[in-house]
Chains A and B, each alone.
Chain A
Amino acid sequence: MKKVQFSGIAPPLLLIAPQMAIVVIFFLWPAAEAVRTSFFIQDPFFGRAVFVGFDNYVNAVTRSDYLRSAAFTGVFVTAICAISLGFGLLFAVCADEVLRGEGPYKTLLMWVYAIAPPVAGLIGVMLFDQHIGPLVDFFAFFGWELQTGVDYWDTAFAMTVVAAWKQIPYNFIFFLSGLQGIPRSLREAAAIDCRSPARRFWTVVFPLLAPTSFFLLVINITYAFFETFGVIDVMLKGEPGNNPVSLVYKVYLDGFRGQDLGGSSAQSVILMVGVMLLTVVQFRFIERRVHYA
């Protein structure tokens, strides 16, 4: 990294000002507002707010629909990470075998990254469509009448698969470039030291992918928590009914549909604290086992 010495404090401050402005306007300020609102009950029609202390929090975490949503979110996030990281890695390993040293293919594969996530999301939703979805027909063949948007478990299944499917190309690209970054001689040294390719993978290649995996784990958890909003919304078509919803989607439902701004703010603050804790845990305990070569 090239180091530049500024004279005075003004130029560097000026340079980070736009970034800071964005952080303040779109993150810090709304966050502070959410914290403030979470201590009030808003009257949606007359704009009066009544201070209620921690009532909204107590209310939120003791309600059965909140707990149900939290349990679903836990399973949902875990499943998405497992599926999308697992398949991303599997595909990357397959591609890496073919790609070693072949320049043109590599560039072509980068396209996956450029076009895949949004398109994959659309395709995923279509695959599960009640009327035209081939997957619905496929499962019907085995006697499973998939009722996305109607049956709780069917919807949960479809949501998880589509959300995970959407993330696979992203993980694939990062794993692939991680694999390609491992020097050839290192794999060759391993080939001399160890007969079993599977064992070589788990003892040499996978540990060297640890920085990539750690990064992707953080990204995928964040994705599963927050960015799956769109997939859930499309699947539910605005009719939550008896269907599973993630905590983030529930914040939206309670706040904007249920007009319970205080309760919804409390939920979002709980989420915020949860994510902060998760991040701390990730960096404290997982990163310690990661080897940055």
Chain B
Amino acid sequence: MTAPQVLAGRGLTFQYQGAQSPLFSDLDIHVQRGEIIAVLGPSGVGKSSLLRVLGGLQAPARGEVTLDGEPLLAPHPRVAIAFQDPSLLPWLTLEKNVAFGLDFKRQPRRDKAERAALVDEALREVGLSDFRRAYPSELSGGMSQRAALARCLARRPEVLLLDEPFGALDEVTRREMQALLLQIVADYDTAALLITHDIDEALAVADRIVLLGGAPASAIGQWDVRVAQPRADAIEELGQMRIEILQALRGAVRRPRKDIQTCALTASLAVAC
């Protein structure tokens, strides 16, 4: 049996209400168990929107998202999403924030002791055990991001959807968190989709890199990173790929600029008429 596609989006087209054109169209993306997919793309291309569609928070105009082959029409308890913004609830302590949702009706049944153990472990994994009674307003940006990650991890999800989760972290902590992500994916056979704007982060953790670009956006490039972890010594092998991705990314960023030029041209013609 080939590795099952845990979460897959096929022919996804998505458009915001009131928008002129689709944000992305005919996009195919999938992630398998034990695999990390990095989604790269210029800012504003629709990465966060794609994540929400894959998580069942927003419905695509066309195409479908499936979880283990079953259509996914609403957020699923087996899928955890870490948003670009930590979204911690200000009236709960860190501990209660991490536990938030564990006792929801649609989540797997767990008794109080089990929930406490999961929260403890998640806090330990992100290194925030000492801050369990702190309120979100007392945490730094990086700590908040780690807390949001802990809230996802506590649920032991089969699919992790992460929207630039390490963006606000310093270099050292970022490396630690990347290592933690690799550890979790390996330990629990999780499928992880990581949105990032950092090529080096993608090269450091991903098994596959998907580059989004164009308007409407689609996957304009895909790279399999067949380099074993840890990758610290594989700089040379990764260097070539890095250049390729950078070139493709530059092309992707340049494209909208052309659009703007055409717009300006049409506008001046309209005035001339």
Do A and B truly interact? no
